[in-house]
Structure 1
Amino acid sequence: MTATMIGVIGGSGLYQIDGLEDARWQAIDTPWGAPSDEILTGTLGGVPMAFLPRHGRGHVHSPTTVPYRANIDALKRLGVTDVVSVSACGSFREEYAPGHFVVVDQFIDRTNARERSFFGTGCVAHVSIAHPTCARLSRTCLNAAQAAGITVHDGGTYLAMEGPQFSSVAESRMFRAWGADVIGMTNMPEARLAREAELCYASIAMVTDYDSWHPDHGAVDITDIIATLTGNAGKGRALARGLPDRLGPDRAPCPCGCDRALDHAILTAPEKRDPDVVARLDSVAGRVLRG
């Protein structure tokens, strides 16, 4: 058994967690640079928690410039075991209406200007993201959302686009045809990196609007979207408050194998590994590199 520590990465509209005891903001240094902001740490229900505003307080990072590697490394460095990503999204499905939540279980990655891996020349590794989210943690988030009275959909495919512009009508229709359910700009490469760092990862997409495919999209006033975003943030905080009781202070090995993702992933022979690269990977992959 290991100790549980829950990390929440908050997206647009979610900038805090209510009720943290002994809360304080901590600056964390990583080999990948500074994370998006200081990290708020504390305890809730006797379980340590960490909150990281993905875009920084005041929303200073665009989806492309978010320091994803530094964010995941910093959470791992703090001792986080379970990462819950909360982000705003558009919907491709009539039934996934504004104000609803979606527990994402698949991704289509259309980003093209971001570093996608901790590994590379000097230490090569390949992990599987066939199932990019943790089923155990996702189920916990689903239960917490239901208990909070949130309308939540179990499962959905998230189309990650580069942005910062929103999609054209033609793109939106194409993404729907591909089978995507929601669209956002931030869950990739975040989910990839969490898997490389052997962290359980769950994605909660908060629907704010229908994407441009919807015939009534142009009739929606921006004030309505902002009101939905504000309401979703309150629901997101309620969901986060329900996680400690459900996860508990102690955790067994992940039944999905998220915490052992690197067991057979590193291909570079030990004598060929670049010492500087290995040193940079100490927090993320030290379990296998030091073994």
Structure 2
Amino acid sequence: MEDVLRPIYQERASQSRTLGILMVERWSDYSPETDLFDVVLFVIVREGEETVFIKHYAFGEKSASLYVVDERQVKEWVLLGSNRKVINWLLNGKILFERNEYIEQLRQRLLQFPEEERKVKMGIEFARLVRRYIEGRSFFEKDQWLDAYNHVLHALHHLARLFIIENGFYPEVTVWNQVKQIEPQIYKLYAELVGSEEPLDKRLQLLFLASDFFIHSKLKQGASHLMHVLEKKETSWSMAELLNEKELTVYGVDLEILLEFLVEKHMLSVQKIATKGQGIFHRHYVLEKNNKEKC
């Protein structure tokens, strides 16, 4: 298959902005890694004309998908975990071409998983966990058990990824295989939710209690990155300032709910700043004094 595709990837390899080319082959009829294509060519470029360019090919009875992706987009996917199959491609794909050992160095960085990157990814997963947990509780209290189940299931996925990241690994597509080895307790919660014969409302009730415990136990680790950013400024932060802070853009729509959650947990304080309206104040955020020393 590599020989058939050689003219396609060699053309890309000859271009100076191409940093690396990987090949990933489909290994089963239902292989999700390649989106059901027989083979994927993944090309990483510097300053691409488009962030992501995709082209499909047919040869004989087989199919191929060509991805040409700007390296900034690759880094964003890796950081946010928004395209997890790419992690598998980067770690397990066959290297067809690399400039100055670019792919090998990228793999080493993924395997070593620097502490600062871990903190950011833990913050992202923690914020997503908090949102799913709160939304799930809301549905549960309204007796909307199937919707609550959906949110709790997603919350468990974020909790599992949180534990995996804390242990120094990137979460893979097969996250439960990873977490079974790393944190059996979380795997057991997942198995109880999806496999128990208990009534659904009873399962959910137990899961919320367990989630309460784990969220509380991971509060400082999950909030570490956000707290570190807030510590950089001695005065309080307005919401507009937080939204414009480059380091916090990774939280997206989950930033507000994370802030309010940390206020409830007394890790952040709210400062009221007077407005022109009588009795109406701007809300600004600042670290609690006892938390500043710990950041």
- Common topology (TM > 0.5): no
Q: TM-score, normalized by length of structure 1? A: 0.25
More strand by share: 1
Determine which structure has the larger helix proportion and give its number.
Answer: 2
Higher relative contact order (CA 8 A, sep 6+): 1
Higher-Rg member (1/2): 2
